[in-house]
Amino acid sequence: MKLWVLRHGEAEPHGTRPDSERALTAHGREEVLRAAAQLIGQPLTAIYASPFLRAQETALLVREALGFEPEIRTVEWLTPDTDPDKVAEQLVSVSDVLLVSHNPLVGNLLSYLQHGAGYPPEKVSTAGLAELENNELLIGSMRLNGIKHP
């Protein structure tokens, strides 16, 4: 099984809007398109995304760039402060999926899936794309094939 984790592209700075309503910048959209190119030819079965605007925009750009037919699955368990264990519970019966989310969840999840609890988070820039792999989803034993930063 492979699992791809994509942090959203660069977003508007914090301002008067709630964090969940921050949109991608033009630079952020470019970053996402570069990340999407890394997914061409991969056996994706689904795209799961946080409901936050910048993650939704990121997932849509990836979907369009890949010509991916299935709809984006919007899930509350990919918001920034979700516990990585909650995310892992949701991934038990899936394979070859892309998760589009935010830090600190992205860094924490990558570390948790590789090493288990208690390890520092992976550093992931905006539109950073990580690929994890293993025969099955086992906490602490997924192999990180790499993180590509745009």
pLDDT digits (tens, 9 = 90+) for 26-42: 999 999 999 999 999 99
**How many angstroms separate the Cα of 50 from the Cα of each of 17, 58, 145?**
17, 10, 23
Q: How confident is the model at residue 17 (pLDDT cuts 50, 70, 90)?
A: confident
Number of domains in the chain: 1
Does the structure show a pLDDT above 90 at 92? Answer: no
Pick from 18, 2, 98: nearest CA to 50: 98
pLDDT above 70 covers a percentage of the chain that reads 100
* Cα 140–chain centre separation: 18
Report strand pairing: 143-148 vs 129-133. Answer: antiparallel
Average pLDDT over residues 123-144: 94
Does the structure show a pLDDT above 90 at 137? Answer: no
* Cα 68–chain centre separation: 16
Q: How confident is the model at residue 15 (pLDDT cuts 50, 70, 90)?
A: confident
Pick from 66, 52, 72, 70: nearest CA to 9: 52
Question: Token pair for residue 132?
Answer: 């994890």
Domain containing residue 127: 2-148
pTM for this one?
Answer: 0.97
Task: Give the Cα separation of 59 and 48 in Å (integer).
Answer: 8
Give me the CATH number covering residue 17.
3.40.50.1240
